[in-house]
Amino acid sequence: MIILGVDLGKARTGVAICDKSELLASPVEVIHEHNRERLLSRIAAIAQARGAEQIVVGLPRNMDGSEGESAQNARAFGAALQTLCGLTVDFSDERGTTVTAHNFLNETNTRGKKRKAAVDAVAATIILQDYLDFRRNRRG
């Protein structure tokens, strides 16, 4: 199944996608959009163009596992996306993904404007890969 991953942000939203075998997540793009409706439409268009069958949105839980305002916003965004796309939207805990994304970018010596442009897509890729690994482990 082709699954689209979304790292929802206030200024930038990262998007990733996996292959049909659900083995590997890859970055797609970073969307620079503040308007919620235009952002929803852009993600819906990417999902349709890429043949996505499901969407996973990163869920920003607090470090103690509770859900605050950001998590509630992500859930509301996911619900709106599901209504717009008609695809199932699931959520994946995104605690630590931005830190991990920065670590990956450190390893590749990505700096400056390239780093800022890439970090959200890398975070979306990590969110999606974590979700794929969870699905694989649950089946196995």
Tens digit of pLDDT for each residue in 53-62? 999 999 999 8
Topology of domain 3-139, per CATH?
Nucleotidyltransferase; domain 5 (3.30.420)
* pLDDT computed for residue 118 by the predictor: 76
State mean pLDDT over 17-42. Answer: 96
Supply φ then ψ for residue 23, to 5 degrees: -90, -40
- The domain locations on the chain are 3-139
Q: Percentage of the chain surpassing pLDDT 90?
A: 66
| 110 pLDDT more than 70 | no
**pLDDT of 137 higher than 90:** no
pLDDT per position as a tens digit, 5-15: 999 988 899 99
Given this model, what pLDDT does residue 117 score? 66
> What confidence score (pLDDT) does residue 116 get?
67
Sheet holding 88-93, edge to edge: 25-32, 12-18, 3-7, 54-59, 88-93
pTM over 0.85: yes
- What rounded mean pLDDT belongs to the chain? 89
Structure tokens belonging to residue 62: 């607090």
Of 100 and 71, the structure prediction assigns the larger pLDDT to: 71
pLDDT of residue 121: 87
pLDDT at 115: 62
Query: Which residue in 76, 97, 79 sits closest to 14, CA to CA?
Result: 97
